[in-house]
Amino acid sequence: MTRADDADFAVSLRAKYVGVIFAGGSRNLTEPEAMTVLAVVPRSVERVGVFADQSADHIVRLADHLQLGVVQLHGDHSLKRIAEIRRDFSGRIWTVARLAGDALPPEMPEMMAASDGLLLDAKTPGALGGTGVALPWASLSEQLHEIRGSTSIILAGGLRPENVRQAIAILSPDVVDVSSGVETAPGLKSHDRMRAFRDAVDHASTPT
């Protein structure tokens, strides 16, 4: 989110998470800007901060100041860095797997064991996320089934009101993450599309 009005509307739609970005790009916020956006988010909704290669100390300081419940790690998320954040941060850590195609990285089981959530996003040169590129859900489904355990699966990458029901039916993620799919321009959310996305999620079915 880049605007408090959009964050407030997401809360009204029963969003369980509202995120702000510190990882660069067109949606990047400063600390004061993020504070303004998150001020409208009640404690019943988890605040998520998206980070790139900042130091563990910087991430923990910002997470404490903004009262984040989740830190989402793009960039270098080695097991050592996760452990450094875990030492001083009591919230959840989501690591990001940026996939070029349908091949999961070989270190994925170790990363899942060290994290509270694994976020799947499409790998696009020059961008960490929010590109609107979708993943090959069907070919990922079997691989995820084999390694899935207690770690939450967060699905991102090209989700929008028109396709999120299909994505949920195929992959059964624990969380769906949307940004560009409900925007009129980078960082500017369409309330009509946000509502349509919520409605699609509400009517989605997962495999039994």
For domain 4-201, the CATH architecture is: Alpha-Beta Barrel (3.20)
Q: For residues 72 and 78, what is the distance between their CA atoms, to the nearest angstrom?
A: 13
CB 172 within 8 A of CB 138: no
State the chain's mean pLDDT as an integer.
90
Residue from 156, 171, 178 nearest 204 by CA: 171
pTM equals 0.89
**pLDDT above 80 for 128:** no
Residue 124's pLDDT is what?
65
Q: For residues 80 and 129, what is the distance between their CA atoms, to the nearest angstrom?
A: 23
pLDDT in tens, 53-88: 899 999 999 999 999 999 999 876 788 889 999 999
CB 197 within 8 A of CB 163: no
Residue ranges of domains in the chain: 4-201
Residue 115's pLDDT is what?
92
Residue 205's pLDDT is what?
73
